[in-house]
Structure 1
Amino acid sequence: MSSVMTTHDAPPATTPPTGRAIVLDGVSKTYDVKGGGAPVTALTSVDLTLRAGEFFSLVGPSGCGKSTLLNVVAGLLDASTGQTRIGDRTVSGPDRATGIVFQKATLLTWLTIEENVLLPSKIAKRLDDETRARADHLFELAGLADFRKRYPSELSGGMQQRASIVRALVGDPDVLLMDEPFSALDEFTREGLNDELMRLWTDSPKTVVFITHNIAEAVYLSDRVGVMTSRPGTLKEIVDVPLARPRGPELRSDEHFYELVSRIRGLIGHHHEGTNR
């Protein structure tokens, strides 16, 4: 029997959670089609409540609305119906208390890594001693302390993505939204960055919504995994991940880990079978 302990409680960490609860209430999103075509419904009737400090992943087939849902939570898209709340705030647009990491690092090539990381705080006029100290700490945690004066072109893709995560965290956001941040990386680099992300999150457990196509990645990182249906996307099922924290590479060979990966893969597969009949 595996020695990995389990827990269904909120994620234990070295410091108390600093995130905020997220509530989606009946959220749907329909896009108008240019040229008078029929509107396309990307999301329909999504109800979801996340605890403060929870790490939550979304998986599902391509085009199921995962990124649309993330953009609604970020305030980058307006929902067609329903409401989204972060803490006591109703989402009506972007907010500096929400950090975002996209598929590509989107670093400015003419700025050093340090300048890229500090740029959002500089624009927001919040570049103070506390922010600089937080950046120093995050550079150390992410293994980038020796590369902060380098330019993006001098770093590997994995290191650039680490820098983009540090940039999102340096403003100390309540919520971190991540849209397939490691999808373009090889498996070895991806697993290493999963470990880096776990260290960063354990040090300061924000509420995280993480989009991925990689089921093993979702299980490794998350407290719960939401499985979405094909378009129009909605939540098919939410799977608890009762694996103890802190987590390390040894978890990837644990039988309970593989049981959860297999279960989630089955949920996605069953839905495809049903839609193809």
Structure 2
Amino acid sequence: MTVTTPSPRTGLEPTGREIVIDAVSKVYEATGRGDAVTALTAVDLTLRPGEFFSLVGPSGCGKSTLLNIVAGLLTASTGQVHVGDRRISAPDRSVGIVFQKPTLLRWLTIEENVFLPSKLAGAVDAATRERADHLFELAGLADFRHRYPQELSGGMQQRASIVRALVADPPVLLMDEPFSALDEFTREGLQDELMRLWTDRPKTVVFITHNIAEAVYLSDRVGVMTSRPGTLREVVDVSLPRPRVADLRTESRFYDLVGHIRGLIGHQHEGVRA
């Protein structure tokens, strides 16, 4: 049984769940177009309840494959994943997902998009509506909830996607490069928004990114993956104080961590940015 203790970063009791990834590998079977591809091999990792964990590594190293296995969207070839006391073999309502693009339905308002998953699950109650009101305020979307997606900027649409994932209050949040399509200014603003949302109610987060500085700024730990077939080369503790503030990005201790992780990945790999 997992014992949940108050988060040392926030003083709040984490609402997340432990994630245990046990000897997970993934082989994409051969097709008429080519041979079998081993995407992942022997990944072992345990995440604490309420931990913010990022994965970085060279392009094609299996980061998104691992995320999709944790989400129940892909089946591992070997090994298993547990979220809390449940073995994951299919999508689970305890796991929320935010993708690279907002994926909002253009014919629904922002509010209707946010409530759609809860509505389909028959779980739109007073507590859900109260939580949505709070999240809209935290994300700076309270005045835009009745607008349509095309009336909002890309950054605001991505905020709405994060609110949609959080409104059902999932213990686990999986994020696959959610800010990669945004300009740097908007990206840093959304990093701060995400930190506020997570600090308000700390869930277990698995965050995929190619941006090393983003991973360091957001995370408690950063997992560095090898080239394909991907496995964990090292897990780096991010011993920086919380709450994180924008000035942290200019401090030497921040860049020391960024440089260490960059060195682990290797300068020869394209697509990984400091």
Which residue number in structure 2 is paired with residue 182 of structure 1?
A: 179
The equivalent residue for 1:118 is 115
Residue 127 of structure 1 aligns with an amino acid whose one-letter code is: V
1:157 maps to what in 2?
154
Please tell me whether residue 102 in structure 1 is matched to residue 106 in structure 2.
Answer: no
Q: What secondary structure is seen at the aligned counterpart in 1 of 2:65?
A: helix
Q: How many residues align?
A: 265
CA distance in 1, matches of 2:8, 2:141: 26
Partners of 1:65 and 1:209 lie apart in 2 by 14
Shift of 1:16: 1.3
- Counterpart in the other structure of 1:61: 58
What letter corresponds to residue 125 of structure 2 in structure 1? D
Cα shift at 1:33: 2.7
Paired residues for 1:221-240 under 5 Å: 221-240=218-237
Give the residue type in structure 2 aligned to 1:96.
Answer: R
Structure 1 runs (4+) greater than 3 angstroms displaced: 270-273
Unaligned runs of at least 5 residues, structure 1? 1-8
Post-superposition offset of 1:13 = 1.3
Contact residue 97 and residue 175 of structure 1 kept, 8 A: yes
Residue 15 of structure 1, CA deviation: 2.2
Per-residue deviation, 1:34: 1.7
Q: Report if the CA contact (8 A) 1:14-1:203 is conserved.
A: no
Q: Which amino acid aligns with 2:143?
A: D
| Distance (whole Å) between structure 1 residues aligned to residue 104 and residue 234 of structure 2 | 36
Whole-angstrom distance in 2 between the partners of 1:100 and 1:11: 25
Q: TM-score, normalised by structure 1?
A: 0.93
Change (3 A) 1:213 1:272: closer
* Partner amino acid, structure 1, of 2:175: M
Given that residues 64 and 228 in structure 1 are in contact (C-alpha distance below 8 angstroms), is that contact kept between their aligned partners in structure 2?
A: yes
The CA deviation at 1:136 is 0.2
State whether residues 7 and 14 of structure 2, in contact with CA within 8 Å, keep that contact through their aligned partners in structure 1: no
Give the match's secondary structure for 2:81. strand
Deviations 1:59-95 (A, max 9, x none): 0000000000000000000000001000110001101
Identity %: 77
State the match for 1:74 in structure 2. 71
Letter in 2 for 1:44: T
1:203 and 2:211 aligned: no
Which whole-Å CA distance do the structure 2 matches of 1:30 and 1:174 have between them?
A: 29
* Counterpart code for 2:10: A
**2:20 paired residue number:** 23
Deviates more, 1:138-147 or 1:248-257: 248-257
Find the counterpart in structure 1 of residue 3 from structure 2. none
Could you tell me how far 1:266 is from its partner in structure 2?
A: 0.6
Partner of residue 33, structure 1? 30
Amino acid of the structure 1 residue aligned with 2:258: V
Quick one: distance in 2 between partners of 1:271 and 1:240?
Answer: 24
The 3-state SS of whatever aligns with 2:12 is coil
Q: 1:171 aligns with which of 143, 168, 172?
A: 168
- 1:213 and 2:206 are equivalent in the alignment: no
Q: Work out the CA distance in 1 between the residues paired with 2:71 and 2:221.
A: 20
Q: Deviations over 1:7-49 (max 9, x none)?
A: xx95511521100000001000000132173210000000000
Instruction: State the secondary structure of the residue aligned to 2:266.
Output: helix
Shift of 1:271: 7.8
Query: Residues 195, 48 of structure 1: CA spacing in aligned structure 2 closer, same or farther, 3 A cutoff?
Result: same
Give me the whole-angstrom Cα distance separating, in 1, the residues matched to 2:195 and 2:222. Answer: 16
| Alignment CA distance shift 1:272-1:192 (3 Å) | closer
Q: Does 1:255 align with 2:252?
A: yes
Q: Secondary structure at the match of 1:46?
A: strand
Residue 11 and residue 28 in structure 1: after superposition, are their counterparts in 2 closer, same or farther (change >3 A)? farther
Length-normalised TM-score, structure 2: 0.94
**Which amino acid in 2 is paired with 1:73?**
V
| Unaligned 5+ runs, structure 2 | 1-5
Aligned to 1:5: none
